Chains A and B, each alone.
Chain A
C-alpha cells in the first residue's frame, strides 16, 4: 500500500468526523482509508493544472428573497422529534461548566 494512515491521523479524523471508534474499528478504518486513498491516487495520473476546480456544473448564485414567514409555528411538531424534551425545550447535556 502506498498510503499509510497512522494512529495520530485516524485519531484526528475521528475528532473531525465526531466519531468514536473502538480499537478494532480504528484498525479497519485505517485499512479502508488506505485502500480508498490508493484508489483515489489514480487522479494523480491526470494533468489538471489547466482546469479550474468545478464545484457546481452550472453557475450558482445566491438567491435572495424577502424575509417573510410562510410556514407556521411548528414548534410542537419539531419538539415531537426531540430525543429528550422538557418545558417545551430540547434537553441537552450541560454545556457551560
Chain B
C-alpha cells in the first residue's frame, strides 16, 4: 500500500504517530502530480519548493506540539477562486492571470492554523461559471476515470486531483452544484455546507447569496474532518453564521436506525439515466436495510430551480464581476482610448464566452423595465422552492437522490449547448437556492465504468444528519480509485 492510498485522516494519524513524515507525504503527492497532471491537468499551478518548505515547518510544528489537529501535515489543494496570500489566484481567467492576493481566505487561514500543507491551486470553470471545467482559460481538466470525459465543474480540478491521488483532500466552492456534481463524476466525496457555515471572506464572489466553500475528499470522514476545520464564525463575512456546534465528526456513526429518509419522486423522472437511477435506489435500499425509514414523496417545483438560478446567479455575477476593470489588479488591455474604452476592452479581452454570457444576462435582468419580470420573479420562485424543502424537512431527516442525471459526459459535448450543460445541475441547484447542506458520495459505476454519485440533502444546519446517513451508507462499500491513480508514482 502506498502513502497515496491513505485517506487524509488516516495519513494525519500516521504522521502523528511518526510512521510517515510530513515531507514524505508532500513528496508523494508532488511526485504523483508530476507523473499524472500532464494528462489530467487538475492544477492551474503548484509549487514544489514552497510545499516542501511548508512541510518541513509543519513537521517542526508537530514535533513541538504547535499542530495537534487530525489534519496536521496533510497535503491538500485549493480551488483557484479561493485567495491564498502571496500565491497566484486566477479563477481560471485571463483577467486574473497574474493576480497575487494580499490576504488569504478565512477558510485557508483556518487550514494554516491546523497545519495542512498546500500543494497548489486547482483548475475550474472560469469564475466558477460552468459544469465541466471546460470554460477554464487555461485548458480543460480530464476525468481520471476516462481521460476523454469531463471531470464536472466548476470544481473539476479539485475533484480530479483528489480522485487521481494528486492530493489527499481539496477545497471546492459550490454555487449551483460545483462541489457535488464534479465529486459525483470523479467518484469522490464532496460537501456543500449550509450557507453561512464557512466564511466566504477571500472566496472570489460569483453568486454571493449562493456561494459556499466546502470539502472534497476520498470519504465522508475526511469531508467531516475538513469541514470541522474550515467552518467558523467570521466577523469579516456578514453572512457568516455562528453555530452552536462545530463538531461535525461526532456524526460519523454507523447508525441510521429510525432515520427518516425522503426520496423525491421528481428526482427520478425524465432525463435521469437508468443506471444512475438503479444505483441510487439501491443505495436507498441499503439504508433501509440498516433501519432507516425510506419513503417517496412529491418535492415539487424541481423544474423551476434552474431558470430561477440562472437569473439570480447571473444578476449577482454581473454586479460582483464589475470590479474587474483593469485599474488596480489583473489584466489591462494594451490599446485603448480613454478610461471607459479601457474598461470595455479589458473586460472583453479578459473574460471568456460563458462569463460574458452570464454578465450580459445578469445586466439585462437587473435593468430598468426587466427587474420585476425577471429578477424579482426569480426571487419569488426561490421563496417557493425553499417552502417546498421546508415542508419536506418537517417530515424527513434527509432527502436522498442522484447528484447528477448522468455520469460524466465526453469532453466537448456540453459546450455547444449551454442549456444542456445547465441541466446537469438540476438536482443540485435547488439546494443552493434554499441554503441547504448537501453531500455527494460514490454509490456505484455505470456499464462504462464511470462513477455514479448519490446526493444526500439535509435541512439548514443539519449537516450532522447528512454526514450520519452518508457515513452509514459508505460502510456498505469500499473506496475505489481510478486505475490511473494507482499507476502513478509509488
Contacts and interface: CB of A to CB of B under 8 A. Distances in A.
B99 A54 contact: no
Contacts of B376: 53
Interface string B281-318: 00000000000000000000101101110110000001
B239 A40 contact: no
9 contacts: A17-B360, A32-B357, A32-B418, A40-B307, A46-B301, A54-B380, A56-B209, A77-B102, A94-B339
Interface string A72-97: 00100110111110000010111100
B367 interface: yes
Given A43-B377, A54-B383, 5 more contacts: A36-B418, A43-B381, A57-B460, A81-B328, A93-B339
Interface in B362-409: 362-365, 367, 374, 376-384, 386-387
Interface of B: 98-100, 102-103, 195-196, 209, 235, 238-239, 241, 301, 303-304, 306-308, 310-311, 318, 322, 325-332, 336, 338-345, 347-348, 351, 356-357, 359-365, 367, 374, 376-384, 386-387, 418-419, 434-435, 460
B310 A40 contact: yes
Given A18-B343, A54-B386, A81 B195 contact: no
A35 B416 CA distance: 13
A62 B344 CA distance: 33
Nearest to A52: B383
Interface of A: 9, 12-14, 16-21, 29, 32-33, 35-37, 39-46, 48, 51-58, 60-63, 65, 71, 74, 77-78, 80-84, 90, 92-95
B103 to A, nearest CB: 7
Contacts of B328: 78, 81-82, 90
Nearest to A97: B338
A19 B348 contact: yes
A81 B330 contact: yes
A16 B367 contact: yes
B307 A39 contact: yes
B332 A84 contact: yes
B290 to A, nearest CB: 31
A57 B338 contact: no
B344 A54 contact: no
